A and B are shown apart, each in its own frame.
Chain A
């Protein structure tokens, strides 16, 4: 059957109209991958954010992939980058900050297109949360995402037995409370995770404003030398060891639970220095009436802000501007207070901007213990700053902290004196720092 000329012309007209209708106003779709290292319900919270972003607009698409734990993820990112198959956006634990900054493989988040730098300035980050990730010009290099800080967790019931309604705020008061608990029959007044340097070295030193390494905890340059073997950290470790000898504190390896968080959560121990993220474990165990307080400092010293632990988001090099536009849009979505609150409510990670923190505290149920955790954490993060409470920017810091944990645990096990252990830890740390400086010779932090 042949089509008449007039019919053909009108068919062509209709087809052209339909095609231009479909193709008009459609920018090219950009899809990128976001690699993260969260598991369980944390991963579900991240998936919810990713799905929310994809649903909120139709131009860009993010694919969120879990890549194991922080160590696995770091190894995979290195391998992927070497094979030119890196993701556009990846999460990295804070311990890898120095390596990422010197890698030459990342773009600063403030360099993303569409006015991202300005948007980040306006975002109003809690200063101590963003400080570890700022470059020498003050611009943000990586986006803090899931962060926590260290607080003193205590069992309300047992504190009540010795007449305390709030956890003690100085080390002297902590020892006094532990003594009182011991006299009241408590076998584990305070539990210490002796191999976790983040709590007992990094956070306690930050609260006191004391440097762990010069220059400026690594911010001043690559050739770091560690100084935690003198000053307040040595004093704290020596006091804690004496407390263990006096039965006022128990190291984690001597508890039934085997780890400090579980020992506290199951009610075995009355007090513990914990990450705010441990709230989830305590809530799940459901055995302890939790009350939280600021990290203890020595009486007569000034309190400074604690630093965050957790991870931040890094943008990798080697992609088209369209992809970077999509990444920028995704990061703006994550920075919305609603997104931050969604993450906080499910995971217990802290909000990263002042605005989101205030909204959470205004809308949260005061009777919910999680509210107290976030409120106390916010208070802890917004204390006055010092050069020693800016965070650390040190290379090989995972191995340095492992060496510290090894030596300090030996001391708590009675195998050597604390002074000897801390001195050895410092030697090993200096060797690791020297190796790092050697590998990245002629490198400078942006």
Chain B
């Protein structure tokens, strides 16, 4: 039996990959190309005339204050959510790795939030965060009018970011825990012999050796934050109050599905694709040179 993964024929790999390529082509590349062409025209919802207007859709976006606001919200949401989830996942992974008993059970519990769809989380959190009847009502009786995410944009964004961090935490934890377990114990043991405490060992030895996993986690989280999370926003805040939780993706939804302005929505989608592509390329080029994969 042949055990290598090399195929002598030129066409067999292509044929075997064809179904997947077809799916990606039909459900991703074709719509992206269509949206790319729509971003240069004035497309009407029911079809009909669509005059070519060059870069005017993009120019209009550059001068739109609400677009830059959406960029800002996306940035805060992405960095806050990813940073929070990564930090929490690192701490939890470290603690889990050191736990003498019950590692499997604890890890199991911590991974359960992965099964909760973000949209479901949004619905539940609407009740939890309700200033009149949720647990926060107690806070409001002590400090009147303190917690009101339906009216205070900063609080709404905080709630949304925390919810997002909660949804990506299990994924981060799984990746970081696996990475942590792959770190050879000899380094930690040598450091312990030299008198380094557990925290010092974690920060100076294990985290740097975890760098590839951390990079992977950051990229996946940022992509999810910038290009995903629609379900959570739609059920939790609907982009409100007054645009305080409208990320780029939600803005594309509002323009395209509520406003039926297909060209404007496509323009924003192209901006998102460019941003995510740039992020990924930048990270790999910059970070690759700093990270040593040798163990």
The residue that B242 contacts in the complex, of A102, A258, A406, with Cβ under 8 A, is A406
Chain A contacts for B258, CB-based, 8 A: 71, 398-399, 402
The residue that A71 contacts in the complex, of B43, B241, B257, B264, with Cβ under 8 A, is B257
Q: How far is the CA of A81 from the CA of B35 in the complex (A)?
A: 18
From known contacts A396-B259, A413-B151, A439-B42, infer whether A406 and B240 are also in contact, taking CB-CB under 8 Å: yes
At the interface, yes or no: B132 with Cβ under 8 Å from chain A?
Answer: yes
Q: Which residue of B lies closest to A406 (CB)?
A: B242
Interchain CB contact under 8 A, B150 and A399? no
At the interface, yes or no: B261 with Cβ under 8 Å from chain A?
Answer: yes
Q: How far is the CA of A78 from the CA of B46 in the complex (A)?
A: 6
Interface string of A412-446 (1 = CB under 8 A from B): 01010000000000000000100100111110000
The residue that A253 contacts in the complex, of B44, B150, B259, with Cβ under 8 A, is B150
Q: Which residue of A lies closest to B254 (CB)?
A: A399
Chain A contacts for B48, CB-based, 8 A: 103-104
At the interface, yes or no: B260 with Cβ under 8 Å from chain A?
Answer: yes
At the interface, yes or no: B148 with Cβ under 8 Å from chain A?
Answer: yes
Most A CB atoms within 10 A — which of B48, B242, B261? B242
From known contacts A78-B45, A81-B47, A439-B44, infer whether A253 and B151 are also in contact, taking CB-CB under 8 Å: yes
Chain A contacts for B151, CB-based, 8 A: 253, 409-410, 413, 415
Chain A contacts for B242, CB-based, 8 A: 406-407, 409-410
At the interface, yes or no: A186 with Cβ under 8 Å from chain B?
Answer: no
Q: How far is the CA of A407 from the CA of B240 in the complex (A)?
A: 11
Q: How far is the CA of A29 from the CA of B256 in the complex (A)?
A: 39
Most A CB atoms within 10 A — which of B132, B243, B254, B264? B132
At the interface, yes or no: A256 with Cβ under 8 Å from chain B?
Answer: yes
The residue that A399 contacts in the complex, of B49, B130, B241, B259, with Cβ under 8 A, is B259
At the interface, yes or no: B199 with Cβ under 8 Å from chain A?
Answer: no
At the interface, yes or no: A5 with Cβ under 8 Å from chain B?
Answer: no
Interface string of B251-293 (1 = CB under 8 A from A): 0001001111101100000000000000000000000000000
Q: How far is the CA of A402 from the CA of B257 in the complex (A)?
A: 14
Query: Which DSSP category, helix, strand, loop or mixed, fits chain A's interface?
Result: helix
Chain B contacts for A440, CB-based, 8 A: 44
Q: How far is the CA of A74 from the CA of B256 in the complex (A)?
A: 12
At the interface, yes or no: B133 with Cβ under 8 Å from chain A?
Answer: yes
From known contacts A103-B44, A104-B46, A407-B242, infer whether A78 and B132 are also in contact, taking CB-CB under 8 Å: no
CB distance from B114 to the nearest CB of A (A): 29
Q: Which residue of A lies closest to B238 (CB)?
A: A402
From known contacts A99-B260, A253-B151, A258-B132, infer whether A409 and B44 are also in contact, taking CB-CB under 8 Å: no
Interchain CB contact under 8 A, B132 and A256? yes
Interchain CB contact under 8 A, A103 and B241? no
CB distance from B254 to the nearest CB of A (A): 7
Chain B contacts for A41, CB-based, 8 A: none
Chain A contacts for B45, CB-based, 8 A: 78, 99, 103
Chain B contacts for A104, CB-based, 8 A: 46, 48
The residue that B243 contacts in the complex, of A74, A406, A438, with Cβ under 8 A, is A406
Interchain CB contact under 8 A, B46 and A82? yes
Q: How far is the CA of A442 from the CA of B133 in the complex (A)?
A: 53
Q: Which residue of A lies closest to B56 (CB)?
A: A438
Of residues 38 through 69 on chain B, the ones whose CB sits less than 8 Å from some CB of chain A are: 42-49
The residue that B260 contacts in the complex, of A74, A406, A413, with Cβ under 8 A, is A74
At the interface, yes or no: A180 with Cβ under 8 Å from chain B?
Answer: no
Q: Which residue of B lies closest to A195 (CB)?
A: B240
Chain A contacts for B132, CB-based, 8 A: 255-256, 258
Interface string of B105-146 (1 = CB under 8 A from A): 000000000000000000000000010110000000000000
Q: Which residue of B lies closest to A408 (CB)?
A: B242
Of residues 41 through 79 on chain A, the ones whose CB sits less than 8 Å from some CB of chain B are: 71, 74-75, 78
Interface string of A250-262 (1 = CB under 8 A from B): 0001011010000
CB distance from A358 to the nearest CB of B (A): 39
Chain B contacts for A442, CB-based, 8 A: 49
Q: Which residue of B lies closest to A410 (CB)?
A: B242
Q: How far is the CA of A432 from the CA of B259 in the complex (A)?
A: 9
Chain B contacts for A375, CB-based, 8 A: none
Chain B contacts for A415, CB-based, 8 A: 151
Chain A contacts for B130, CB-based, 8 A: 258
At the interface, yes or no: A372 with Cβ under 8 Å from chain B?
Answer: no
Q: How far is the CA of A40 from the CA of B41 in the complex (A)?
A: 41
Chain B contacts for A439, CB-based, 8 A: 42-44, 261, 263
Q: How far is the CA of A56 from the CA of B45 in the complex (A)?
A: 37
Chain B contacts for A81, CB-based, 8 A: 46-47
Chain A contacts for B261, CB-based, 8 A: 396, 435, 439
CB distance from B40 to the nearest CB of A (A): 14
Q: Which residue of B lies closest to A424 (CB)?
A: B242
At the interface, yes or no: A120 with Cβ under 8 Å from chain B?
Answer: no
Q: How far is the CA of A413 from the CA of B46 in the complex (A)?
A: 39
Q: How far is the CA of A103 from the CA of B133 in the complex (A)?
A: 46
Chain B contacts for A413, CB-based, 8 A: 148, 151, 241
The residue that A103 contacts in the complex, of B46, B259, B263, with Cβ under 8 A, is B46
Q: How far is the CA of A398 from the CA of B150 in the complex (A)?
A: 20
Chain A contacts for B150, CB-based, 8 A: 253
Which 8 pairs show the lowest CB-CB distances between chains A and B?
A103-B46, A406-B242, A413-B151, A105-B46, A78-B45, A253-B150, A256-B132, A439-B42
* New contact pairs (15) apart from A103-B48, A399-B254, A406-B242, CB-CB < 8 Å: A81-B47, A82-B47, A99-B260, A102-B44, A253-B150, A253-B151, A255-B132, A258-B130, A406-B243, A407-B242, A410-B151, A413-B241, A435-B261, A439-B44, A441-B42
15 A/B residue pairs, CB under 8 Å, sorted by A: A75-B257, A81-B46, A99-B45, A104-B46, A105-B46, A253-B150, A398-B258, A399-B254, A399-B258, A406-B240, A409-B151, A409-B241, A410-B242, A413-B151, A439-B42
Question: Chain B: residues with CB nearer than 8 A to chain A?
Answer: 42-49, 130, 132-133, 148, 150-151, 240-243, 254, 257-261, 263-264
